[in-house]
């Protein structure tokens, strides 16, 4: 599902697409969360287990999020906001101060979502990668959890009908 979400919107290298597909491998060292509704997986995000980190530039008081993806047919339903709001709740429950992530410069819809939820760019953590067709800038974002924006983003959906995050077994 995440690969389909990414490759329909972005041009990505095969190695990264293979990493995206390796959900079982990711779930060994992290927690893969999914939003599902009526047995259909609508979205997914990966967070570290308590006390662990996924990103080399994350700090002990940050929850670092990776590979947020929303199924193409579920876009516009608030699934990404629900998953990211859940990540913020998990970070608060763990006593962390912020949520951090990286995203590609070409991932404009993701950037709009993060900014709408209160994330801000962190230029000092940004970098450039080399890919088969050139280079890409990787943006860094942070959401501070002092009770500010993004705490519980309103998806605009009825609470009973909204997809709920659940761990992948």
The domains of the chain, with CATH numbers, are 2-167 (3.40.630.30)
Residue 154 has pLDDT above 70, yes or no: no
Which is more confident, 147 or 67?
67
pLDDT band at residue 9 using 50, 70 and 90 as cut-offs:
low
Residue 166 has pLDDT above 80, yes or no: no
Distances (CA, A) of 50 to 30, 75, 127, 132, 166: 9, 29, 26, 35, 16
pLDDT above 70 covers a percentage of the chain that reads 85
Where on the phi/psi map is residue 142: left (φ > 0), alpha (ψ -120 to 50), or beta? beta
pLDDT value for 147: 57
Question: What's the whole-model pTM score?
Answer: 0.82
């Amino acid at each position: 599902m995440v690969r389909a979400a990414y490759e329909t919107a972005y041009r990505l290298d095969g190695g990264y697409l293979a990493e995206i597909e390796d959900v079982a491998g990711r779930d060994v060292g992290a927690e893969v969360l999914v939003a599902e509704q009526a047995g259909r997986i609508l979205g997914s995000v990966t967070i570290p287990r308590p006390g662990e980190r996924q990103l080399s530039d994350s700090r002990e008081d940050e929850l670092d999020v990776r590979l947020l993806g929303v199924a193409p047919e579920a876009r516009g339903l608030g699934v990404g906001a629900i998953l990211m709001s859940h990540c913020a709740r998990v970070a608060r429950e763990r006593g962390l101060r912020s949520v951090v992530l990286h995203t590609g410069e070409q991932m404009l819809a993701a950037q709009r979502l993060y900014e709408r939820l209160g994330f801000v760019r962190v230029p000092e953590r940004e970098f450039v990668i080399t890919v088969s067709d050139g280079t890409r800038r990787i943006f860094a974002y942070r959401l501070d959890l002092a009770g500010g924006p993004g705490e519980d983003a309103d998806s605009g959906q009825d609470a009973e009908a909204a997809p709920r995050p659940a761990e992948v077994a």
